[in-house]
Amino acid sequence: MSEFIITGGSKLDGEIAVSGGKNAVLPIMAASVMAGSPCILHNAPDLVDVRVMSEILRGLGAVVKRVNLEGQSIYIDPTTMNSHVVDEGLMRQVRSSIFLMGPLVARMGKARVSYPGGCDIGQRPIDQHLKGLKALGVSFSEAHGHITAEGPELSGVDIHLDIPSVGATENIMMCASMANGVTVIRNAAKEPEIVDLQGFLNAIGAKVRGAGTDVIRIEGVRNVGGCEYTVMPDRIEVGTLMVAAAITAGDIYLRNAVAEHVQAVTSKLREVGTTVSILGKGIRVRGSHKRRPTDLKTLPYPGFPTDMQPQMMALLSIAEGTSVISETVFESRFKQAEELGRMGARIRTEGRTAIIKGVPRLSGARVESSDLRSGASLVLAGLSAEGRTIVSGIENVDRGYERLEDKLAALGAGIIRQE
Ligand code: UD1
C-alpha cells in the first residue's frame, strides 16, 4: 500500500496547469456508449476512476485507448459493443458507473448493473435515477444484487426531481437524448459538469438545452454520431490547490482554472483572508499567515461544494477563532475530523455539524485517508503541519487526483509517494 510522506512548512510557489474534470469525464465516457461512431475525448485526466470506467466500457465490447503522447486524450469506439451487462466487480469500484444505465438502455434497449460503489460518504440511494428512467418507459427487475433495466421504447416526459441529484440529472439527460419526443427535467442539478455533458451530447448530435439552469429540455433524436470533445477543467482540483496556497501562505497560479466554477470557494477563501485574483486564463491565489475563521454550509451548485468541505476543514483548523461547518449534502462526510485531531486540530462533530476551534499550528502525525476528499484534506493539513505527516490509504486520493503529489512538489511542497 502506498503512502504520502509529507514534510510540512514549505510555502507553495509557482504555476501549475489544472487537469480535466473527473466528474465531467466519467459521465461523458458513459454517454459515449450511445455514439454512432468513435469519439475522442481531450483533456481526459489519467485517474484510477477513469481507468476503471475504461475497463467497464471494454467489458461491454467497446474499443478504448489513450491516443496521444501526453496521454490526455481517450479514443472510444462504441460501435463494436456487444454486451449490456456491466461487470460487477468493476462497477463496485466507481459509483459513477450507475450513469451507464441510461445510455445503455438508450443504445441497446437494456442494461444490467449492480448497486454502485465509490466513496463511502454515507447512504447514496439511486431512487431519483430510477424514478426518472421509469418515467421515460424503463422497467426494472432486481435479483441477486443486480438491477436489470429494459426500455425497448422510450418516450419523452416531464420529470420533476425530488432533489437536484447530479447523477440522476445526467442519467436522465443521456437516456432522454434518444427517446421519442421531448423530455423536460425540472429541479435539475446545475453543476458545471452537467453543462459539459450537454456540450458532449450536442456534439454527437443530441438536442439538449438548459443545462446550468434547473430546467433542462431534451428533444429525442433517432441517431447520433461521434465527435472530438475537450473536457472541462477539474473545479475540485482547482479548489483543493487554492486551499493548498491558503494553508501554506503560498502564492500560486492555476492555469486553465475557470473562476466562475469556483466562486463559492473563492468567496470563503477571501473571508478567511486569502487573496484570489483572476488573471488571464487562470487564477492567482495568495495565502496569508493570518487566517480568519468562517462558517460554511455545503449545498448543491452554485452553493459551497460538498467535495471541498473536508479541505476547508483542514484550513479552518488553523484559523484564529471558531468556525462552524454544516454538511447538508451527504450524511457522513466528517471522516477527516478524527484524523485531523491526531494532528492537533480541535474539532467536535455533532451529526451534520462540525465546530472547529482553530489552533496556531498542526503537528505532523500518521493519518489514514478513508475517502477521496478526506484524503485531500489530510494532505493539505500535512503541508502546513510542523514535522512529518504520513498519509496512508492514498489509493482513495488517486481515484480523483492526477498525481497530486507531483503537482504539489512542483509548487515546492515536501511530499513524496512511498510505494
Ligand atoms: C456527484 C459527484 C460527487 C459530489 C456529488 C454532490 C460525480 C461522479 N460525483 O455525485 O463528487 O459529491 O455529486 O455534488 O459527479 N440522492 C438521493 N437519491 C438519488 C440520488 C442522490 O437521495 O437517487 C442524494 C444523495 O444521497 C446525496 C444527494 O442526493 O445526499 C446528492 O447526490 P448526487 O447529487 O446524486 O451526487 P452524485 O451524483 O452521486
Single-letter amino acid code for the residue at 142? E
- pLDDT confidence of residue 94: 78
Q: Which of 230, 258, 293 is the last residue of a domain?
A: 230
Task: Count up the domains in the chain and report the number.
Answer: 2
Q: For residue range 76-121, what is the model confidence (pLDDT) as tens digits?
A: 999 999 999 998 888 877 766 788 999 999 999 999 988 765 444 4
Nearest CA to ligand 1 atom 2: 23
- pLDDT confidence of residue 90: 86
Nearest CA to ligand 1 atom 31: 165
**Range(s) of the domain holding residue 411:** 3-19+233-418
12 and 46 in a common domain: no
- pLDDT confidence of residue 71: 65
Q: Which residue among the candidates 39, 119, 175, 227 is catalytic per the annotation?
A: 119
For 290-385, strand residue ranges (E) read 296-297, 322-326, 346-350, 353-357, 366-368
Dist. CA 232–CA 216, nearest whole Å: 20
Which three-class secondary structure state does DSSP give residue 223?
Answer: coil
315 and 192 in a common domain: no
- pLDDT confidence of residue 119: 46
Q: Which of 208, 230, 252 is the last residue of a domain?
A: 230
- pLDDT confidence of residue 209: 98
Q: Which three cell numbers stand for residue 326?
A: 454544516
- pLDDT confidence of residue 95: 67
Q: How many residues does the chain have?
A: 419
Is 39 one of the catalytic residues? no
Residue 125 CA to ligand 1 center (angstroms) comes to 9
- pLDDT confidence of residue 236: 98
- pLDDT confidence of residue 332: 73
In the predicted model, residues of the chain with pLDDT beneath 50 are 118-122
Residue 272 CA to ligand 1 center (angstroms) comes to 28
Dist. CA 127–CA 148, nearest whole Å: 15
- pLDDT confidence of residue 114: 82
- Look at the block and give the residue holding cell 484524503: 375
279 and 339 in a common domain: yes
Pocket probe mutation, ligand 1, options 53, 129, 162, 165, max atoms within 8 Å of Cβ: 165
243 and 151 in a common domain: no
240 and 184 in a common domain: no
204 and 294 in a common domain: no
Dist. CA 397–CA 381, nearest whole Å: 14
CATH code for the domain in which residue 28 is found: 3.65.10.10
Q: For residue range 129-185, what is the model confidence (pLDDT) as tens digits?
A: 999 999 999 999 988 878 899 999 999 999 999 999 999 999 999 999 999 999 999
181 and 281 in a common domain: no
Residue 167 CA to ligand 1 center (angstroms) comes to 6
Nearest CA to ligand 1 atom 17: 125
363 and 256 in a common domain: yes
This prediction has a pTM of 0.96
